[in-house]
Amino acid sequence: MPTHLGELRPVPGARIAIIASRWNPAIVEALVDAARRCLHEHGVAAADIDLIRVPGAWEIPQAAARAARRGHAALIALGCVVRGDTRHYEQVADNCAQGLLRVALDHGVPVLNGVLAVERHADAQARAGGAHGNKGEEVALAALEMIDLWRQL
């Protein structure tokens, strides 16, 4: 039985879009920096990475849909939503995740969700280069694997 497994290798000419929120900038910048660094370390040329900035996490799926139509091989979504005193947190975080999944399924492109949905800023800091690593790097690695897997399939 054939087994298909994506590997961590660059695919020459494969464009990757990083779609990043401007909200919670210190956290998001740490995620973006780690994702870019990871992609570069794995042989992705700077010219093959598009950085798309949006106001907040709510707008990320909208930009992802546009980027998917432009032929990107993978989309990396980065942002940070911190729980507040209202239900706004759930609406933004849940609908962002659902929107990203819809883009992936509708367009057949890997969409990696690195949008943090956390209770406190300290939780975000732990996932943006702190005790829990950096989710920007993790989703960049997953993007490379998925691009390679999509090429096989």
Give the residue ranges of DSSP H helices in the chain. Answer: 25-41, 60-69, 88-107, 121-127, 135-152
Write down the residue that tokens 């609908």 correspond to: 95
- List, in sequence order, every residue forming a beta bridge with 76; answer none if it has no partner: 18, 112
Q: Say which amino acid occupies 63.
A: A
Closest CA to 64 of 9, 7, 21: 21
Q: Say whether 88 is catalytic.
A: yes
Catalytic entry in 4, 88, 121, 132: 88
Catalytic site positions? 88
